């Protein structure tokens, strides 16, 4: 999938990246300057003689040099997340939306599931564009028809990773600023969504607990 804006990094939480390392003998220290990729899909084209590894990079320890990401400081091998046992990383693309309501104090829609306030998002279907995925997933999770939603602007993308069925999923999520004409919402029960509610932007920042989503909502300030 094509890039839609910048990778959104948290100032307080680690960020995952993918590296290519020789599979025969992993180094005890990942060297400064090593090339980083956002997804296995990107890394595989350049990794001909090694294996792909998912690493956790502390805040501020990765920089973009105009051509790609680089590690700015050495990291211990313990930063590798898919090592024991080795799980091949796979790209799982997703997209979502920040639905905004224009008021004197701007408001955004949050969904509540599994005890957390979150933003509507979901996995993309094969061949689906980030825009189409975002509109479909947001409409399904909010329980509204797609025609009530309008894309306003790309906000960037976040990346997180987790074990998945013997693999290690690396999920880039493309985010879009949206608005809606819908006034009522029906939370998607099959996704365990219990509530959909408007919050002022500052309160939404306090309610979401994921650092990458906080970075995303911080980005929203420039659109309000």
Note the Cα 113 to chain centre separation in Å: 18
Asked if residue 97 has a cis previous peptide bond (ω within 30° of 0), the answer is: no
Which residues, at least 6 apart from 202, have a Cβ–Cβ distance to it below 8 Å? Answer: 105
At 104-125, the pLDDT tens digits run 888 999 999 999 999 999 999 9
Tokens of 95: 């997209």
Domains and CATH numbers, the chain: 15-90 (no CATH), 91-223 (3.90.79.10)
Q: Whole-number mean pLDDT of the chain?
A: 92
Residue 100 has φ and ψ, to the nearest 5°, of: -110, 140
- Residue 29's H or E segment, with its range, is strand 29-30
pLDDT band, residue 24 (cuts 50/70/90): low
Give this prediction's pTM: 0.92
Q: φ, ψ for residue 207 (rounded to 5)? A: -75, -40
Are the C-beta atoms of residues 63 and 70 closer than 8 Å to each other? yes
Which pLDDT band holds residue 146 (cuts at 50, 70, 90)?
very high
Could you tell me whether strands 107-113 and 75-76 are parallel, antiparallel, or unpaired per DSSP bridges? unpaired
Q: Decide: residue 34, CB within 10 A, 0-12 exposed, 13-18 middle, 19+ buried.
A: middle
Q: Is the peptide bond before 3 cis (omega within 30 degrees of 0)?
A: no
Q: How far apart are CA 75 and CA 79, in angstroms?
A: 7
Q: pLDDT tens digit string along 53-100?
A: 999 999 999 999 888 999 999 999 999 999 988 999 999 999 999 999
Q: Band the pLDDT of 2: cuts 50, 70, 90.
A: very low
Q: Which residue has the tokens 């084209």?
A: 45
Polymer length in residues for the chain? 224
């Amino acid at each position: 999938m094509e890039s839609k804006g910048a990778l959104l990094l948290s100032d307080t939480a680690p960020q995952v990246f993918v590296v290519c390392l020789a599979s025969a003998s992993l180094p005890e220290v990942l060297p400064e300057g090593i090339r980083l990729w956002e997804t296995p899909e990107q890394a595989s084209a350049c990794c001909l003689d090694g294996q792909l590894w998912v690493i956790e990079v502390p805040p501020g320890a990765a920089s973009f040099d105009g051509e790609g990401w680089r590690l700015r400081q050495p990291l211990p091998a313990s930063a590798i997340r898919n090592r024991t046992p080795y799980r091949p990383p796979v790209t799982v693309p997703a997209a979502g939306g920040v639905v905004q309501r224009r008021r004197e104090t701007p408001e955004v829609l949050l969904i509540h599931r599994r005890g957390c306030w979150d933003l509507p998002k979901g996995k993309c279907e094969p061949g689906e564009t980030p825009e189409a995925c975002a509109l479909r997933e947001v409409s399904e999770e909010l329980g509204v028809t797609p025609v009530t939603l309008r894309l306003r602007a790309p906000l960037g993308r976040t990346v997180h990773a987790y074990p998945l069925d013997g693999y290690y999923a690396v999920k880039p999520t493309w985010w879009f600023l949206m608005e809606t004409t819908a006034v009522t919402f029906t939370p998607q029960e099959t996704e365990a969504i219990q509530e959909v509610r408007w919050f002022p932007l500052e309160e939404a920042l306090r309610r979401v607990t994921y650092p990458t989503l906080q970075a995303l909502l911080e980005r929203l300030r420039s659109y309000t």
